[in-house]
Amino acid sequence: MKLTGYEQDILDGKYGEGMAYALGIQVAIGNAFDADCFVPITRTHVALSAQDADLWFAEKLLSKGAKCKIPPTVNPSINLKYLNDHLFEIPEEGVNIVSATNEAYRKLGAQLTFNCTPYLQQNVPAYGEVIAFSESSATPYVNSVIGARTNREGSNSALCAAVTGMVPRYGLLLDENRKAEIEVDVQAKIESDFDYQILGWCYPEKYKGLEIPIFRGIKKRPTPEGFMNFGAQLNTSGCVSMYHIEGITPEAPTFEAAVGNKKIKEVITITEQDLADTRQRLCREPKKIDFAMFGCPHITINQVATIARVCEGRKFKVPVWLLVSSLTKELAVRMGYNAIIQRAGGHIVSDTCIDVPPCWQPYYHGVGVTDSPKCAYYNEIRDIEFIIRPIEEAVEAAIIGEVLK
């Protein structure tokens, strides 16, 4: 990589050991991907996880005196007080790692938003803006739906970018690398948000490559929630950092514009039967459940409203958890949704992730219902079996205590 005098001064320690350490990692990444230089960024988002490696790296940067030049928003942690009050007493190991991680990021200068959907609320980039985002639902959303530019950063590389204020210029920052090479002929009706969940999981099952796909045949524009969940599943079932939908996403007004000078390498057809097969494999058979969980990614105020509408005046038979941003929680309180869900026996909890052990221990080895394949996949390691259904069906299941179909 060609470094400017300023960048070389950083590496030489002129601006502190922490900044030198962060840039050194970025130089190694840039060299690995044949980047030619660094470019400045304007936004960052770090997928904070409150797990051992995350804490180790954040504290290492902090010990070297690092501070964030571009304050990042961060992924959810755990709302210790709420879970202590309403679920169980969080084990000391959980309290310690969550508290230590939050404190390390605070001292680094991060914005403690604790939300995995910053692209909808607190950290929304503009078209063409060069940024550094980690988080599996965020990368495809900002690249594909908004047209901002980020590579598929890890939490560590995104944190380094927050410290230095720059990223190596490679990959999806370059025009030619944002063009489609896989044509996806969608011969199925894609109408509901849940249809996008299933399509997002199905495509990587049929094609495992890293090339950017363009989806054709989709007529109805997704809701923000549909886009959010589509990208989340594409980047969980597979590794899709960017996609196009012909005539819908901003860099694909036409098929030709999305492809540019690239050649289509393969055409993948997705039929109604393909989606039905994916849904059957993914969603599991009906059975009794122990709890319900929504919010991977964090659900929006529109999804909270849907849940409140279904459960109003009724009672849940099993515990129900809605994971949201603090802004969405405040809106839910203002609009009366929180009261409706609480009266039904449910909980809206902010700042919290389904994937921060050991804070969901009461549900280990249990059976839950969710609308999110990503939620189900992440919890397999804890022997939690999730049955996946559309959000309205999942709420109904929580009311009667079992999934019937």
Task: Check residue 392 and give its pLDDT.
Answer: 98
> Is residue 326 within 8 Å of residue 384, measured between CB atoms?
no
102 token code pair? 């939050």
Q: Which residues contact 306 (CB under 8 A, 6 or more apart)?
A: 391, 392, 395
Distance CA 378, CA 360 (A): 13
Q: Tell me the mean pLDDT in the region 261-274.
A: 98
What is the pLDDT confidence band of residue 311, given thresholds at 50, 70 and 90? very high
Q: Tell me the mean pLDDT in the region 175-184.
A: 98
Task: Check residue 370 and give its pLDDT.
Answer: 98
What is the SS3 string spanning 131-194?
Answer: CEECCCCHHHHHHHHHCCECCCCCHHHHHHHHHHCEEECCHHHCHHHHCCCEEEEEECCCCCHH
Model pLDDT for residues 349-392, shown as the tens digit of each residue = 999 999 887 789 999 999 999 999 999 999 998 999 999 999 99
Domain boundaries, the chain: 5-174, 179-281, 284-400
> Is residue 213 within 8 Å of residue 180, measured between CB atoms?
yes
Model pLDDT for residues 287-301, shown as the tens digit of each residue = 999 999 999 999 999
Residue type, 163: V
Task: Check residue 217 and give its pLDDT.
Answer: 97
Q: What percent of the chain has pLDDT over 70?
A: 100
What is the pLDDT confidence band of residue 130, given thresholds at 50, 70 and 90? very high
Q: Which residues contact 52 (CB under 8 A, 6 or more apart)?
A: 97
Beta strand 166-168 pairing with 73-74: unpaired
Q: Which residues contact 268 (CB under 8 A, 6 or more apart)?
A: 182, 183, 184, 185, 203, 206, 207, 213
> Is residue 103 within 8 Å of residue 58, measured between CB atoms?
no
| CATH numeric code, 5-174 | 3.30.499
Task: Check residue 44 and give its pLDDT.
Answer: 98
The string of DSSP letters for 41-72 reads: -S-EEE----SHHHHHHHHHHHHTT---SSPP
Task: Check residue 23 and give its pLDDT.
Answer: 98
Does 224 score more than 90 pLDDT?
Answer: yes
Residue from 328, 280, 289 nearest 308 by CA = 328
Model pLDDT for residues 191-208, shown as the tens digit of each residue = 999 999 999 999 999 999
> Is residue 198 within 8 Å of residue 275, measured between CB atoms?
yes
Q: Tell me the mean pLDDT in the region 88-105.
A: 95
List residues bridging with 182 in a β-sheet: 213, 266
Give yes or no on whether 5-174 and 284-400 have one common fold: yes
Angle at which helix 301-311 crosses helix 224-237, to 10 degrees, equals 100
Task: Check residue 179 and give its pLDDT.
Answer: 98
Q: Which single residue is written with the structure tokens 């249809």?
A: 195
Does 332 score more than 80 pLDDT?
Answer: yes
> Is residue 39 within 8 Å of residue 167, measured between CB atoms?
yes
Does a cis peptide bond (omega within 30 degrees of 0) precede residue 125?
no
Number of residues in the chain: 405
Model pLDDT for residues 39-77, shown as the tens digit of each residue = 999 999 999 998 999 999 999 999 999 999 999 999 999
Distance CA 20, CA 30 (A): 15
What is the pLDDT confidence band of residue 243, given thresholds at 50, 70 and 90? very high
84 token code pair? 């202590």
What is the pLDDT confidence band of residue 272, given thresholds at 50, 70 and 90? very high
| CATH numeric code, 284-400 | 3.30.499.10
Q: Tell me the mean pLDDT in the region 293-319.
A: 98
